[in-house]
Structure formats: C-alpha cells, structure tokens
C-alpha cells in the first residue's frame, strides 16, 4: 500500500515457469508493500500457473494470445487502486517501484525507461540498435503530441509502468492492440486524454531464462517497431477526430 492506496502488480506470462516464482516473490517481499500480484496465464504449456500460485500470486487465464490481451485481462481483474505492470522474466527490480509510485502524485501514468546506459546491466537484452530504436520511436511519439502535451520520452517499449485505476478506466475503452504495440498505444491514449505522463529511469537486468518474444533477433525487432509506429500514427489520427473523454466523477459524486 502507498499513500493509503492499494497496489496490484500485473504480470503477463507465457511459458515462464523458470522465472515467475522469483518475480512474484520479489514483488511480494521487496520495496513497497504490494497488496496483490496477479499473474495472467496466457495459454502457458508449462507449470507457470502452478509455480506462480505457490509463490503467492492470484492466477487468472486469458485465452486470446498476445501481450496486450493478457495485460487488459490482468488490469481488469486487478483490485488495487494503483496498477503496476512488469515482466515475468526477472528483467526488472521490485525495488524500483518505490520511485515510480511517488510520481503518481503528479501524473496518471508513470513509465520506466531502459535507455539510461548506466542502469542497463551487462547482459541485458538492450543492444545498441534496440536502445536507439526505442529512443527514435519515442521521439516520434513525443513530436506528434508536443504542442498539446509536451511529453519527454525516450522509451516506448519499457513494460515496467504504473498507473492509477482512474487512468485505466478512462483509457480502457480505446485500447485494442493485442501484441507489444499495447505499450505505446497505452502511452498515446493517455496523451489523447490529456492525462499527464512521466518517464522514470529503471534498472534493466538480463533475463533470468528464455528468450524475448518480441526482440530476439533483428526480424522480430523490426516487426515490433513497425507495429508500434503504425499504432502511434493511428492514435494520433484518432486524437484529431475525438475530444478527450470526461474524467470520472469522484467516489460519492453523481456524474452531471
């Protein structure tokens, strides 16, 4: 719990039996007190669900394949007032959550960035092309919303982030990406809604097991980047065509 608000950590998982237990334990025992860890079993063919439950997670299932589908299910199922997204492979530290949730006092969405070289650990999956590719795409997103929001962004693909439940309720109806494009789609929709977005450097560690589903090899990197760019451009066009949704009324107040 932080500032009297409950915290849910959501972890999408596909065949992460070797790492999920460590990740769940890390978030349950380090940093801020986490009220619940929700692991989304996205058609796992191994013991991911069993290991996650034994480590103390609440496991939910999502039959539709894809990172975006898994996260939408997890965020919908989570009970916390602060929602945290992270990876099942151990590449992020629970200890970094402390500095991220502090910025929720000033923003609706706080995203990590893995492009600060001093915080990318040796052996992490952040080769020069991948790092600079994320920077370039982030700058395109930044430029497209510069005059309306003036964001400062360096990483569209970092999957370690936190947001308020109010933010999720506002952006949820407009998110439809099923794969890794969900990450920039979430950022772009926040900007469409004129919700403040802040980026914070986080530690990025080597995977504890397996390979990335989206950035293992140049072909996957380029395919992912193309999908992300297409999603960002689509969201910018949508932003021109519709006004931000009204903010939800505070608890106990009637909507006019």
**126-179, pLDDT tens digit by residue?**
667 777 788 899 999 999 999 989 999 999 999 999 999 999 999 999 999 999
Q: Where are the domains of the chain?
A: 7-241
pLDDT score, position 246: 75
**10-25, pLDDT tens digit by residue?**
999 999 999 999 999 9
pLDDT score, position 124: 62
Is the entire prediction scored with pTM above 0.95?
no
Sheet holding 197-201, edge to edge: 58-61, 36-41, 7-13, 82-85, 161-164, 109-113, 197-201
Domain spanning 7-241: CATH superfamily: Spore Coat Polysaccharide Biosynthesis Protein SpsA; Chain A (3.90.550.10)
Q: Which two tokens stand for residue 244?
A: 């931000």
Residues sharing a CB contact under 8 Å with residue 182, sequence separation 6 or more, in sequence order: 66, 67, 68, 71, 72, 175
Q: Is the pLDDT of residue 252 over 60?
A: no
């Amino acid at each position: 719990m932080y500032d009297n608000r409950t915290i849910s950590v959501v972890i999408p998982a596909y065949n992460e039996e070797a790492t999920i237990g460590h990740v769940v334990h890390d978030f349950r025992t380090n940093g801020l007190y986490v009220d619940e860890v929700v692991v989304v079993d996205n058609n796992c063919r191994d013991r991911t669900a069993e290991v996650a439950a034994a480590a103390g997670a609440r496991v939910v299932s999502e039959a539709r394949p894809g990172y975006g589908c898994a996260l939408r299910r997890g965020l919908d199922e989570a009970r916390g007032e602060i929602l945290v997204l992270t990876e099942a492979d151990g590449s992020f530290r629970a200890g970094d959550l402390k500095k991220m949730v502090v910025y929720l006092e000033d923003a609706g969405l706080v995203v990590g960035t893995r492009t600060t070289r001093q915080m990318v650990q040796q052996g992490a999956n952040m080769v020069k092309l991948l790092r600079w590719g994320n920077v370039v795409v982030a700058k395109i997103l930044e430029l497209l919303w510069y005059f309306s929001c003036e964001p400062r962004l360096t990483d569209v693909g970092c999957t370690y982030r936190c947001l308020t439940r109010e933010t999720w309720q506002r952006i949820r109806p407009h998110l439809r990406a099923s794969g890794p494009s969900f990450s920039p789609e979430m950022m772009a929709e926040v900007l469409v809604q004129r919700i403040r977005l802040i980026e914070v450097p986080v530690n990025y560690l080597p995977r504890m097991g397996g390979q990335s589903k989206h950035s293992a090899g140049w072909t996957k990197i380029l395919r992912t980047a193309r999908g992300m760019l297409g999603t960002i451009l689509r969201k910018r066009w949508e932003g021109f065509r519709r006004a931000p949704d009204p903010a939800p009324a505070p608890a106990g107040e009637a909507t006019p």
